């Protein structure tokens, strides 16, 4: 018996204008007939025979027109060239709590090939409500070590470098050396401004993300400072950290990362995206 199929036509109302989206057929499978694919086991054997890393093997196979199955649904949208760019990238994540842990999860599944993960903290019970990397059995463990373990359990092709330290103005630039991009997963104003200054000095694009209670904000910083102006007279305020807000902020930060690393789409440079899931409000501000 053939699968039950339903045709759906979506109509979205925006400013009193209706847009019709392409028809979706529930139950239909994506057509991957043009994709030559290879299993994880075969990738490992390919790498072993050539004495190269799994990441290098995946890049070579993609370049030859063969897609590792783990990236099939990525490549079906953005193609092999973009996936190779992600695998070749080196991304710096500062802060491995709720936001940083969610970012590690997404980056690993996207196939971002090299990660530099930095946090000096250990898990405690107050982290259990929102931090993806924290389970009851992880209490007292280093966040950086747990981040590496989870990333490698998701995607063994990724090169993961961890630093269990408090990054400051003296240590931050050596950590950023050679990175394609930096992600802000911090929880205080002073550290964010320090990270922005270092990224601008090193020429490393920075994706900023911040959240509190039910709202979040995201922006991409490339050529001129944002946070030094945005937080000029601000002080760190203790607010609630809720898991829906964390995952929404992480998703938008990771999406910006994909766009910066691959050249796809429009990035939020000189723009600030604001969201609040409690009131379903989402705005984009253009910054002077």
Alpha carbons within 13 angstroms on the beta-carbon side of residue 71 total 33
Average pLDDT for runs of 10 along the chain of length 288: 36 39 38 74 97 98 97 97 98 98 98 98 95 96 98 98 96 97 96 97 98 97 93 77 97 98 96 97 92
pLDDT in the model for residue 232: 82
pLDDT digits (tens, 9 = 90+) for 135-161: 999 999 999 999 999 999 999 999 999
pLDDT digits (tens, 9 = 90+) for 13-43: 434 333 333 433 333 344 444 669 999 999 9
CATH 3.40.50.720 in the chain is located at: 89-286
Single out the residue of 130, 70, 141 nearest to residue 102, CA to CA: 130
Q: How far is Cα 33 from Cα 35, in angstroms, rounded to an integer?
A: 5
- Strands 11-14, 17-20: pairing kind: antiparallel
Contact 219, 272 (CB under 8 A): yes
Greatest extent of the chain over all pairs of C-alpha atoms, in Å: 66
Topology given in CATH for the domain delimited by 89-286: Rossmann fold (3.40.50)
Q: How much is the pTM?
A: 0.87
The residue assigned the tokens 């036509």 is 9
Find all residues with CB under 8 Å of 273, minimum gap 6, and list them: 217, 218, 219, 252, 282, 283, 284
CA–chain centroid gap for 34, Å, is 28
Helix ranges (DSSP H) in 124-226: 143-154, 172-176, 189-202
DSSP state of 97: S
pLDDT in the model for residue 236: 66
- Strands 271-276, 11-14: pairing kind: unpaired
């Amino acid at each position: 018996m053939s699968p039950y199929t339903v045709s759906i036509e979506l109509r979205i109302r925006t400013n009193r204008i209706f847009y019709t989206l392409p028809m979706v057929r529930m139950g239909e499978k994506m057509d991957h007939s043009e994709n030559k694919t290879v299993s994880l086991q075969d990738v490992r054997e390919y790498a072993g025979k050539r004495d190269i890393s799994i990441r290098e093997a995946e890049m070579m196979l993609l370049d030859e027109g063969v897609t590792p199955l783990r990236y099939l649904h990525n490549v079906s949208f953005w193609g092999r060239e973009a996936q190779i760019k992600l695998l070749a990238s080196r991304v710096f994540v500062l802060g491995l709590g709720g936001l940083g842990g969610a970012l590690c999860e997404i980056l690993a599944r996207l196939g971002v090939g090299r990660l530099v993960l930095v946090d000096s903290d250990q898990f405690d019970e107050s982290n259990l409500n929102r931090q993806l990397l924290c389970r009851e059995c992880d209490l007292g463990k280093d966040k950086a070590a747990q981040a590496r373990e989870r990333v490698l359990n998701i995607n063994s092709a990724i090169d993961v470098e961890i630093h269990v330290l408090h990054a400051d103005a003296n240590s931050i630039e050596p950590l950023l050396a050679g990175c394609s991009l930096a992600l802000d997963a911090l929880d205080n104003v002073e550290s964010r401004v320090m990270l922005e200054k270092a990224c601008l000095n090193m020429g490393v694009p920075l994706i900023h993300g911040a959240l509190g209670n039910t709202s979040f904000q995201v922006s991409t910083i490339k050529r001129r400072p944002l946070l030094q102006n945005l937080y000029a007279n601000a002080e760190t305020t203790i607010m609630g950290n809720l898991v829906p807000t964390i995952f929404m902020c992480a998703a938008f930060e990771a999406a910006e990362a994909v766009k910066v690393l691959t050249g796809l789409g429009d990035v939020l440079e000189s723009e600030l995206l604001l969201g609040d899931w409690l009131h379903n409000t989402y705005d984009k501000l253009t910054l002077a």
